[in-house]
Structure 1
Amino acid sequence: MDRQHGLSVRLKLTLSYAGFLMLAGALLLVAVGVFLLRQGWLQTNESGAVRVTPGTLFVRGFAPTAAAVLVFLLVFGLLGGWILAGRMLAPLDRITHATRTAAAGSLSHRILLPGRKDEFRELADAFDMMLAQLEAHVAEQQRFAANASHELRTPLAISKTLIDVARADPNHDTGKLVDRLHTVNTRAIDLTEALLLLSRANQRSFTREHVDLSLVAEEAAETLHPLAEKNGVALETSGDIAPTSGSPALLLQLTTNLVHNAIVHNLPEQGTVWVHTGVRPRTVVLTVENTGEKLTPQRASTLTEPFQRGTERIHTDQAGVGLGLAIVKTITKAHDGTLTLTPRPAGGLRITVELPAASGG
């Protein structure tokens, strides 16, 4: 914003201090003068003490002294006010320097203002916290952009290689080439759609509607039932009506991703996936639990990061794009919910999504 230059805060505080001191001094001198005028002054001469005219004596004796005192208070107020204002505003210089440093692109700088807690220290600490969060967010976005670029480059590079091989060998099996290109392009399209979905959920650009999570869970389970049968996984759904508010499409995507991951990250045979919905005092809960290989809590905590994949999938035809749980995390956050990943002692994972209950639900 383009602003006109004005008086500095330090100068304003200096004038305020000096003005207040002058006003207080003037009021004090006026009070003393009024008191002397009412009482009268005594003047002693050779013949003894006599009373003189109070007004005349006030003008000749007290007024010059009062004027000198006011001049002294003005000079003292300006000088003292300038020094005090400078000391009081010194923390702002450090905060301003940190702000300009951050604006120049250095987010690692911190104010670290010493001293006991006061308004300036609270401002500095809040600014340091904001810088730390911003630095972490920027680093996360940079990692995401790098990973996304890598993931998108891979299918493009494979496609280029396949085309180069076909051009070099005219007798190459074109049917097989087309099939492989179709698989690679499908993966690239799925990844692009997943990235767009992440962006949409992050921006919260959706209309909230009444959604029953139990119906969403049933729809997702019904859609993925053929995949579960193909992979030898038993899919079980249960629970109560779980009304919440949000985007039906995004919540269906969330549930589908959870169930899909639970199916493809399972035992090679006789695996099970449990999908359950429940109601708590102020929230509704969707729980997706599956059998599978054992996971450590540390490993489970990283699965929601973009392009992080769990243990090697048993079914290589469901490679995915590494954004399934990242999308779940983003959609959950966009709906003001919480996502919890807990490894099962016997192997596998339990994922719980807790969302605010719908009003009147």
Structure 2
Amino acid sequence: MDRQPGLSVRLKLTLSYAAFLMVAGALLLIAAWVGLMQFKSSGVVIMTTTDSFPRLLIRSFGPAALAVAGFLLVFGLVGGWILSGQMLAPLTRITDATRTAASGSLSHRIRLPGPSDEFRELADAFDTMLARLESHVAEQQRFAANASHELRTPLAITQTLLDVARNDLDRDNGVLVDRLRAVNTRAIDLTEALLVLSRAGQRSFTRAPVDLSLMAEEATETLLPLAEKRGLSIETTGDAAATIGSEALLLQLTTNLVHNAIIHNLPDRGNVWVTTSVHPRLVELTVENTGAELATEAVATFVEPFQRGAERIRSDDEGVGLGLAIVKSITRAHDGFLTLAPRPSGGLRVTVQLPAA
């Protein structure tokens, strides 16, 4: 943005200091003048010359007053320039750090020393912002790399299948078409999941009252055939838990959690528990499932995009690896909290806390 040239803050402070000293000196001289006039009016002064007292006073007092005014002006300008420079030194460090960040380097920190004051609070807030930006940019870069890799895989498979069909014209294309359809479906699912993740991150949705217990029932009914196919049982309990948000996104959140609990469960006779509860200022959705024992360090990585865990086996029903990442993004967009913890007996417990309506 083009701006008109103006005085620097340091020069403004210098002129302000000098003007303040000049005004203070003028008031002091006026006070001295009034005092002398009152001293004269008391009759104590004995006139020894033919000059009147005011003329005599001006003749003796004027040069001294001008000398004092000149000294105050010079002292105010020099002292004000030095003092303003010392006061604005932290602001210079903050400005340099801002220019460094604007050039693309987010690893720089101000780390302003000294006691807590306005400049220190500004520098600490700026350091916090840089840390969050650096973390966000790194997360976005990892996400872009993982998304590119995941999207490239179905495209490469499709290209290979098409090359096989072109080189072997006598081959039965029925199986080939089925495989192409499966690969294409997976690519569409991945693209839609990326769109949901982007939409939740931008918070571009309409908010309305939503009951998490109804979302839990709907997600459970939708995924019940998959659970029965795998020999699992689902139990849904809890009270009405009203919050404010997007019904479509919160249904996506609940569906992802239940789907994740079904997929990553015991091979047979596993269980899934979906519970809603109400607290003074929060509503809570908890999804638990049986399964293998999980390390706490491994659980912390499950919310990262395309992370499925080292011991997890990919299947057709598993999804695209964005389930918990989408849950995390939707929870954050609704100003909520997401907690993942391994169950002592094996499996995972996921808790979503959202502001109560």
Provide Cα deviations, 1:162-190, integer angstroms capped at 9, x if missing partner: 11122122222311111111111111100
How much does 1:53 deviate?
A: 3.4
**Which residue is equivalent to 2:5?**
5
Q: Give the Cα separation in 1 of the matches to 2:251 and 2:309.
A: 22
TM-score computed with the length of structure 2 as normaliser: 0.95
Worse-matched range after superposition: 52-61 or 126-135: 52-61
Q: Give the Cα separation in 2 of the matches to 1:321 and 1:172.
A: 30
Report the residue type matching 1:9 in the other structure.
V
Worse-matched range after superposition: 94-103 or 52-61: 52-61
**Which residue is equivalent to 1:152?**
151
Provide Cα deviations, 1:230-259, integer angstroms capped at 9, x if missing partner: 011111111111111111111111111000
**Which residue is equivalent to 1:30?**
30
Given that 2:47 and 2:53 are in contact with CA atoms closer than 8 Å, whether structure 1 keeps it comes out as no
The equivalences for 1:242-281 within 5 A come to 242-281=241-280
Worse-matched range after superposition: 11-20 or 93-102: 93-102
Q: Give the Cα separation in 1 of the matches to 2:105 and 2:270.
A: 50
**Which residue is equivalent to 2:320?**
321
**Which residue is equivalent to 1:128?**
127
Report the residue type matching 2:99 in the other structure.
R
The equivalences for 1:1-361 within 5 A come to 1-40=1-40, 42=45, 53-310=52-309, 312-313=311-312, 316-358=315-357
Report the residue type matching 2:103 in the other structure.
A
Partner-residue secondary structure (3-state), 1:322: coil
How much does 1:65 deviate?
A: 0.7
Provide Cα deviations, 1:85-127, integer angstroms capped at 9, x if missing partner: 1111111111111111111111111112222222111111111
Partner-residue secondary structure (3-state), 1:317: coil
Q: Give the Cα separation in 2 of the matches to 1:43 and 1:155.
A: 111
Relative to 1, partners in 2 of residues 1:317 and 1:102: Cα closer, same or farther, differing over 3 Å?
same
Report the residue type matching 2:91 in the other structure.
L
Report the residue type matching 1:219 in the other structure.
E
How much does 1:319 deviate?
A: 3.0
Relative to 1, partners in 2 of residues 1:103 and 1:323: Cα closer, same or farther, differing over 3 Å?
same
Partner-residue secondary structure (3-state), 2:316: helix
Report the residue type matching 1:123 in the other structure.
L
Q: Give the Cα separation in 1 of the matches to 2:123 and 2:279.
A: 40
Given that 2:39 and 2:45 are in contact with CA atoms closer than 8 Å, whether structure 1 keeps it comes out as no
Matched residue count: 354
Partner-residue secondary structure (3-state), 2:303: coil
Report the residue type matching 2:60 in the other structure.
G
Q: Give the Cα separation in 1 of the matches to 2:86 and 2:68.
A: 26
Provide Cα deviations, 1:6-38, integer angstroms capped at 9, x if missing partner: 011111001000000010011001101110122
How much does 1:343 deviate?
A: 0.6
Given that 1:42 and 1:52 are in contact with CA atoms closer than 8 Å, whether structure 2 keeps it comes out as no
TM-score computed with the length of structure 1 as normaliser: 0.94
The unaligned stretches of length 5 or more in structure 1 are: none
Given that 2:334 and 2:354 are in contact with CA atoms closer than 8 Å, whether structure 1 keeps it comes out as yes
How much does 1:317 deviate?
A: 2.2
Relative to 1, partners in 2 of residues 1:83 and 1:313: Cα closer, same or farther, differing over 3 Å?
closer
Report the residue type matching 2:260 in the other structure.
N
Given that 2:238 and 2:277 are in contact with CA atoms closer than 8 Å, whether structure 1 keeps it comes out as yes
Worse-matched range after superposition: 33-42 or 212-221: 33-42
Runs of 4+ in 1 over 4 A off after TM superposition: 41-45, 311-315
Report the residue type matching 1:326 in the other structure.
A
Relative to 1, partners in 2 of residues 1:265 and 1:2: Cα closer, same or farther, differing over 3 Å?
same
Given that 1:287 and 1:352 are in contact with CA atoms closer than 8 Å, whether structure 2 keeps it comes out as yes
Q: Give the Cα separation in 2 of the matches to 1:312 and 1:177.
A: 30
Report the residue type matching 1:351 in the other structure.
V
Given that 1:257 and 1:328 are in contact with CA atoms closer than 8 Å, whether structure 2 keeps it comes out as yes
